Chain A
Amino acid sequence: MQANKKYILSLKEYERLFDKLYTSLCLFANKYIGDLDQSKDIVQDVFVKVWEDNVGFQNENNIKSYLYTSVKNKSLDYLKSKRVKTTDNFPITEIAKLETESFFLREVVVLETSNIIENAINTLPNKCAQIIRLSIKDFTNTEIAEELDISINTVKAQKKIAYKRLRPLLKDYFILIAFVFDNTN
């Protein structure tokens, strides 16, 4: 019925959006400008604009795409103006590199993936979490067992527990706004 209608966030959803994405977006801006405090200001400005302009969204990816793109543009603007205003001799070729789509996309992948992983691991009991962290760093079961001074069977059993707990969560990948319009409607 309203599948393609743009959806305006309520204050509560807006706050949730901030809660979920603010940190990742700050790190994202930091990749461009290498200044975390300045990055925070940029991301806050982007959020304020979303509210004040009543920006509407169709779905969760649409929101993310908007936020990442806006933060990227603002970061690049900042770099360019800084180059003009100060004696900072940030090479223009560097800026050109930052402006490429592949730079943008790969940073999004790194932040989105690590964010999902962190959130997932945080739902696990301590021991499980430690084991999964090591396994992501490509430790074998034997290496994990040695590192944590436990038996291989414990490692395997804990991994099994972790997978069982994570699977239903990963099915929907910690969706930001749990319900989105069904676009096939």
Chain B
Amino acid sequence: MTIFNKIITLSKQIASSLLEDKGFSVLEKSELFDKVNKEYIIKNLTDESLIKRRLRLINQVNKKKDWKKVKSKIDVPVRSIYWKYAVAALLLIGGVITLFINQPGDIQRFNDPVIVNNKILPGEGKAVLTLETGEVIVLGKGVDIKTENASSNGKELIYNNDPSEKLTYNFLTVPRGGQFQLTLSDGTKIWLNSESQLKYPVSFNNTQSRQVELVYGEAYFDVSSSTKHNGLNFKVNHNKQEVKVLGTEFNIKAYKDESNIYTTLVEGEVAVSVRGINKVIKPGEQSNFNSILNTIEVSNVDVFREVGWKYGAFSFKHKPLKEIMVVLSRWYDMEVIFENKRYENVTFNGTLYKNQSIEEVLMLIKGSINSYEINNKTLILK
């Protein structure tokens, strides 16, 4: 790593440590600076008058105005007109396009994408509630509903806390391009990711362990502690595995089109059982059950990367584009076609915010693809 990279990493570490009230120990241990410079850095980051002076200077910089100055100097209009004509000309000669694009030459920039009737949008809060009577209610933006046992403001569905002896079940189904939050009658909070379904009792009785079923998809559970419920534990079933918990936060990912079930523990302790095998996992660990090989493995993971979706972001590390696109296709409700199969295994690092448009997302990977096409809800990587 170059010194500069080390410096950038150090800056990030100092920033997070300061924000989390953990002081300057990272800087103090660093070998990149001597004592005098360390003190200089600390003073500049914590001294009120120095911080104020910096903010005053920042306020004297007019980014918008200065960007206009720079833009006027780099003659963008000329360049963009040139590209428009070039693309128009290429469209006229049709069949030659592919050949031309594949020719390395003086074209260094990414080819303008073809976008026809783009219907790919970021997901939003939406879900379908199926009541014990079989009645179906569509939940989403602007839909305020109140049933006998629950109410929703369009983003979240909350059950009333009244125990009953008889267990009746509701289903909450989140489609592709959706997400939804749910509070069960025992106070347990559940976040459902796109293309997921959960079956749960309308209310729990106070004698049996609390049980819900993740039918498919991904869900984050913040389970209300068993100490508040006569010591009754909480179980999340799935047709292939069962997770037993006492009050904790964890994430289960069990998509229909994937052969692995991932259970990631954020806080507390859970026991995952699959076909008679029990595995206890600790915070920061993830169990991975492979239903084809019939194996279960526990490993350490970067928890916040795994559950970033709950916080409005998708975070990837060394992930092949193919896997990234599986995640994105659920959120943007789109079909992705790799016209060039070589892209499938290009790996990326980074974070995407869930409110970004698909075109913004694609801008970020355009360095490794030649172009793309959007047609209705289909994305083709060329």
Contact = CB atoms under 8 A, between A and B. Distances in A.
Interface of A: 1-2, 5, 7-8, 10-13, 15, 18-19, 22-23, 26-27, 30, 36, 40, 44, 47-48, 51-52, 54, 56, 61, 64-65, 68, 101-102, 105-106, 108-110, 112-114, 116-117, 120-121, 132, 135-138, 159, 162-163, 166-168, 170-173, 175, 177-182, 184-185
Interface residues of B, number: 70
Given A166-B20, A170-B15, A177 B364 contact: yes
Interface of B: 2-5, 7-8, 10-12, 14-16, 18-21, 32-34, 37, 40-41, 44-46, 48, 51, 54, 57-58, 60-61, 63, 66-67, 69-71, 73-74, 76, 80, 108-110, 302, 304-305, 308, 311, 313, 315, 318, 342-343, 345-353, 363-368
A51 to B, nearest CB: 4
B346 A48 contact: no
Given A106-B40, A159-B21, A23 B63 contact: yes
Contacts of B311: 168
B335 to A, nearest CB: 21
A44 B311 CA distance: 36
Nearest to B360: A12
B63 A22 contact: yes
Contact of A61 (B5, B51, B108, B345): B5
B18 A61 contact: no
Given A1-B342, A61-B4, A178-B364, A27 B70 contact: no
A18 B351 contact: no
Contact of A51 (B8, B41, B74, B80): B74
B308 A137 contact: no
Given A167-B304, A179-B349, A117 B19 contact: yes
Contacts of B16: 116, 166, 170, 173
Contact of A166 (B2, B19, B342, B350): B19
Most buried by A among B48, B365, B367: B367
25 contacts: A1-B342, A10-B110, A10-B363, A15-B71, A19-B63, A26-B61, A27-B57, A36-B57, A48-B70, A61-B2, A61-B5, A61-B8, A102-B34, A110-B45, A117-B15, A136-B45, A137-B46, A168-B304, A173-B12, A175-B350, A178-B350, A179-B364, A181-B367, A182-B346, A185-B346
B6 to A, nearest CB: 9
A163 B20 CA distance: 6
Given A8-B109, A18-B70, A114-B54, A136 B349 contact: no
Contacts of B15: 112-113, 116-117, 120, 170, 173
A1 B368 contact: yes
B66 to A, nearest CB: 6
Contacts, number: 192
Contacts of A105: 3, 7, 32-33, 37
Given A2-B368, A19-B67, A36-B57, A168 B308 contact: yes
Contacts of B366: 10
Nearest to B359: A12
Nearest to A185: B347
A26 B66 CA distance: 11
Contacts of A13: 363
B63 A182 contact: no
Nearest to B76: A11
A116 to B, nearest CB: 4
Given A11-B80, A106-B41, A110-B40, 10 more contacts: A12-B363, A19-B67, A44-B66, A47-B70, A48-B70, A54-B108, A65-B4, A106-B33, A173-B12, A182-B348
A180 B347 CA distance: 10
A92 B363 CA distance: 47
Contacts of B48: 137
B363 to A, nearest CB: 6
Nearest to B2: A65
B234 to A, nearest CB: 22
Contact of A182 (B66, B74, B110, B347): B347
Most buried by B among A5, A48, A120, A182: A182
A181 B368 contact: yes
Given A12-B363, A23-B58, A110-B44, A1 B346 contact: yes
A56 B109 CA distance: 11
A121 B19 CA distance: 8
A159 to B, nearest CB: 7
A168 B313 contact: yes
B96 to A, nearest CB: 24
A137 B380 CA distance: 51
B69 to A, nearest CB: 6
